[in-house]
Amino acid sequence: MIRKNLVRALRKFRIVHKWIGIGIAFFLLISALTGILLSLKKEFDVLQPPTQVGDSNDLADWMTLDEIKSIASTAALNDNDTPNAVERIDVRPDKGIAKVLFEDGNLEIQLDGTTGEILSVAPRYSDWIESIHDGTIISNLFSVISMNVLGWGLVVMIISGLWLWYGPIRVRKWRKKRTNS
């Protein structure tokens, strides 16, 4: 009787395992591929421009953030001279630079913190890839829901997978024990 219940449970677990696996496979594939790209972002300049080095790492010598923003914003004017809004300024005192990232076009401008000299103007695709990876490319709500579904789906897949591996071992032991008795 116990063996029959175990076999029935294993069949149900196979069904659950299969359908949850099918349901989360696409999201797992997207998450895995974008995760691979994100792990390599410092290795390939096309994903994230290399960090330049400025003149001074002493913040007392630096321009104000407002001045840095103004210089970068002027350099980032679109083709039709419309301003590109600053998303964030990433200050790297140890490198002597500030990275100014813009909302449109994945643009990153690196400036020397002391002189304001533009050291690099390049697209930064790693942020766009990250938004695909975590689902925020659609919305923050989608990100929260999809990451929870993906996480819980993986937990169920692991538990059911372990049971699908261990359950048949138990069934074989019972069969062997029964035939030896």
In the predicted structure, residue 80 carries a pLDDT above the cut 80 = no
Instruction: Based on the fold, state whether residues 106 and 133 are members of the same structural domain.
Output: no
49 is written with which tokens?
A: 């421009």
Q: Please, what is the Cα angle at 143 between 142 and 149, to 5 degrees?
A: 85
Residues 77 and 65 in one domain: yes
Looking at the structure, tell me whether residues 81 and 58 fall in a common domain.
Answer: yes
Q: pLDDT-based confidence at 81, cuts 50/70/90?
A: low
Q: What is the CATH number of the domain that holds 68?
A: 3.10.450
Distance CA 131, CA 128 (A): 5
What tens digit of pLDDT does each residue of 110-153 get?
999 999 999 999 988 998 999 999 999 999 999 999 999 999 99
Residue 75 is encoded by which pair of tokens?
């350099």
What per-residue confidence (pLDDT) applies to 110?
95
* Distance of alpha carbon 77 from alpha carbon 71, whole angstroms: 11
* DSSP labels, 59-99: GGGSPPHHHHHHHHHHHT--TTS----EEEEEEETTTTEEE
Cα 120 from Cα 54, distance rounded (Å):
11
Looking at the fold, whether 56 and 120 belong to one and the same domain comes out as yes
pLDDT score, position 1: 61
Model's pTM, two decimal places? 0.73
Let me know whether 173 and 141 are in one domain. yes
Range of the domain at 105: 49-124
Separation CA 113–CA 87 (nearest Å) = 18
Residues 132, 119 share a domain: no
Residues 9 and 75 reside in one and the same domain: no
Residue 57: predicted pLDDT: 83
Shared domain check, 114 and 139: no
Mean per-residue pLDDT for 23-46?
A: 93
Cα separation, 98 vs 64, whole angstroms: 11
Does 154 have pLDDT greater than 80? yes
Q: Which amino acid is at 104?
A: D
- pLDDT score, position 79: 59
Tokens of 64: 């104000």
- The pLDDT value given to residue 176: 81
Place of tokens 């840095």: 68
Tens digits of residue pLDDT in 51-72: 999 988 888 899 999 999 999 9
The whole-number pLDDT of residue 133 equals: 94
Residue 120: enclosing H or E segment and its boundaries?
A: strand 118-123
The stretch 71-83 carries a mean pLDDT of: 77
Distance CA 97, CA 116 (A): 9
- In this prediction, residue 22 carries a pLDDT of 92
Q: Is 119 found in the same domain as 54?
A: yes
With 70 as the cut, is the pLDDT of residue 165 above it? yes
